[in-house]
Amino acid sequence: MQSQASWEAEYQQNPIIVGGGAFPIEKIGHAPYVDRAGVLKSVRYFDKAGTHGDGAHTAGVLMHRMKDNTFEYVARGQWGALEREEKIKYWAGQDAQKCKGGYEVVVEQEPVSGGKGSAEATIRNLAGFRVSADKVTGSKEVHAEPFCGAGSRR
């Protein structure tokens, strides 16, 4: 029997590292408690997808700037555009209540033609919150470097 990793490498030309690469699965843990007194700033970053039940996932990571550089909650799902925008607004409201002081939302702006319009729609949806668009360049691996220790940026 062939593993998923073998199938991806051999037939799909998409080799994957079993157990994770930059973020090995065995090193990911669950923090049952976040000391809110130690939070200096909080950011929820959304990487949006728009296909209900299929394809890529929308993901929103709430990160806190703390002494130990931890993050809190990853919201993830496959939703159509309307449901996705409702969930983004819900999480922004929940976060704003928990994260007193420096809280903001950042939404990824894809470089494709519809990326700017999609980011602007989310920004309008989040009127009243501090929100901005991030014009992405480079690979997702480059974006993850500050969090995995692979790069020198911190």
Report the C-alpha gap between 83 and 87 in whole angstroms.
Answer: 6
CA neighbor of 49 nearest in space, from 89, 88, 93? 88
Cα diameter, the chain: 54
Count Cβ atoms below 10 Å from residue 144 Cβ, excluding itself.
14
Q: How far apart are the first and last CA of the chain?
A: 43
In this structure, what are the phi and psi dihedrals at residue 72, rounded to the nearest 5 degrees? -105, -75
| pTM tops 0.95, yes or no | no
Q: Please give the domain boundaries of the chain with CATH numbers for all domains.
A: 35-148 (3.30.420.40)
Quote the CA–CA distance of 116 and 120 in Å, as a whole number. Answer: 6
* pLDDT tens-digit profile, the chain (154 residues): 566 666 666 677 676 665 556 666 666 666 666 677 778 788 888 888 877 777 778 888 887 777 776 666 677 888 888 999 999 999 999 988 888 767 899 998 988 878 889 999 999 999 999 999 988 887 777 766 666 654 433 3
pLDDT of residue 154: 33
One-letter amino acid for residue 146 of the chain: P
- Strands 103-109 and 131-135, sheet pairing: parallel
Alpha-helical segments (H) within 12-153: 81-98, 115-125, 140-148
C-alpha to C-alpha distance for 153 and 143, rounded to whole angstroms:
11
